[in-house]
Amino acid sequence: MTISADILDRLKAIVGPAGYIDDPADMEPYCVSWRDGWRGDTPLVLRPASTREVAEIVRLCAEARVPIVPQGGNTGLTGAGQPHPGGAEIVLSTNRMKAIRDIDVLNDTMTVEAGVVLTTIQDKAAELDRLFPLSLGAEGSCQIGGNLSTNAGGTQVLRYGNARNLVLGLEVVLPDGRVWDGLRALRKDNTGFDLKQIFIGGEGTVGIITAAVLRLFPKPRESQTAFAAVTDPAAAVKLLGVMRDRLGEQITSFELLQRNCLEYVFATLDGHEDPLSAVYPWYVLIEATGQGAPGSLREPLEEALAGAIEAELVPDAVIAASGDQAQKLWAMREELAEAQKLSGTGIKHDISVPLSRIGEFMERADAALNAAYPGIRHCSFGHVGDGNIHYNPLNPVDWDPKAFAAEREKINRLVHDIVAEMNGSLSAEHGLGRLRREEAEHYKSPVEIDMMRALKHAFDPHNLMNPGKMLRP
């Protein structure tokens, strides 16, 4: 399958000279992922400047049966945003759709186009003395359209929910080129199916999100950060219960870290030091934020931690004495991925299980991998308050990295079999894309796969919208 020159010309005419790229070298960044080596080919990258242009492109592609790969900031981790090899698809990038269309401070909403970068939204909210709480590693380059299409998570899900929870309305170009104006800025609307839910986390397979109404929140006036040792992941879950009983939703982040993760940070990156005087197998990094006067959260946080120490749930803990110290603790967490990369070859998993089973998951997964791969190095961390663990074992030091990488599928199966037995998820926040498509089909029931296919087919009967992502073609 190739796309005819006539169609390519007509597509170019829709967007004009500023709106397309057809030089292979210039198209390269749109065809390759920044990590994990996903790549493909396309004869044309389109960069429409408006919803109207997106609609015209999609309508023409629908008529000519040309498949489209929608792309935001191209920061995804599952190969959902790049074309397949072979050059039979066009890429539609939202990176020229950067308007903030509306701000309604009294309604706590902001209406943005799909191509607005996440930090731009965060910054604009802060200017208005508000918070847009979605926060993740790629925030400086990911775009809100992609964040919504993948239902992005991040470090503040515990308090504010996933991306799904942060949006009130959507504008979507449907696979036939019609525009659905669902840009409602309402907190309650029970007039039929909540259609936006289909596109949030839909990985661009049922339409292209072109704009969204986002929820804003009161900007916290007060923030405290603590770092606590725990004996094991199960203790971390218990500690979360203790902290939430005392501080409620003011517990904004609750991140688990395995000792090894810290060791890799200390060994490979400068400017970090051990926050506690002794060594412990596991830690949690806790952030509490609230609306009280600066300092007012410190006492309840201290009390809750003191209670946990007394109950022998926590052997040692420290509360950051300053914003600088808090930032240092967070830097350790944020540089984990980099430190891990410098320390070996990781096989990454983005799993979730019920919170009550995190300890059991860790024990069983570690045991299974230790038995199969003696010397394998564990380096797990995650958003324990969401039951979401980035379970990323590294190659044994005496293994060739390539040989270890070749074990990827076997290791995935070992880990995901345990996840499946616990009724967990093999992709908690990253999505399926091309990476987990077959695995999802393996573990999900045939009923559920049928439902997904029925939904896809109802909206995209010719399978032209990001085909082969999330579901096999």
Please report which residue ranges of 335-407 form alpha helices under DSSP H. Answer: 336-343, 358-372, 401-405
> Of the two residues 126 and 195, which places its CB atom closer to its own copies in the complex?
195
Distance CA 305, CA 319 (A): 9
Does position 188 interact with its own copies (CB under 8 A)? The reply is yes
Nearer Cβ to its own copies (134/440)? 440
Q: Report how far residue 162's alpha carbon sits from residue 144's, in angstroms, rounded to the nearest whole number.
A: 13
DSSP element (H, E) containing 111: strand 109-113
For the CB of residue 424, give the shortest distance to its own copies in the complex, in Å. Answer: 7
Q: Quote the tokens at residue 274.
A: 């051990």
Residue with smaller CB distance to its own copies, 198 or 376: 198
User: Whose Cβ is closer to its own copies: residue 7's or residue 428's?
Assistant: 428
Count of residues engaged in binding its own copies, rule: CB under 8 A: 91
Kindly indicate which of the ranges 63-71, 192-200, 326-334, 372-380 contains the residues binding its own copies, using the contact rule CB under 8 A: 192-200
Count of beta carbons in the 10 Å neighbourhood of residue 2 = 10
Number of H helices, E strands in the chain: 17, 18
Q: Which residue has the tokens 């929820």?
A: 215
Q: Which residues from 213-242 bind its own copies, rule CB under 8 A? A: 218, 220, 237-238, 241
Q: Does 208 bind its own copies (CB under 8 A)?
A: no
- Interface residue with its own copies among 4, 451, 462, 472 (CB under 8 A) is 451
Q: What is the sign, positive or negative, of the torsion defined by CA atoms of 171, 134, 117, 38? A: negative
| Binding characters for its own copies, 363-392, by CB under 8 A (x = yes) | --------------------x-xxxx----
Question: Interface mask (CB under 8 A) for its own copies, residues 243-262, using x and -?
Answer: -xxxxxxx------------
Site for its own copies in 342-361 (CB under 8 A): 352-357
Q: Specify the residue, 105 or 403, whose C-beta has the smaller distance to its own copies.
A: 105
Stretch that binds its own copies, among 53-61, 223-231, 363-371, 457-465 (CB under 8 A): 457-465
Phi, psi at residue 199, to the nearest 5°? -90, -25
Question: Could you tell me if 291 and 221 are in contact, meaning their C-beta atoms sit under 8 angstroms apart?
Answer: yes
| Strands 20-21 vs 45-46: parallel, antiparallel or unpaired | antiparallel
Nearer to its own copies, 104 or 409 (CB): 104
Nearest in space to 71 (alpha carbons), one of 13, 152, 143, 131: 143
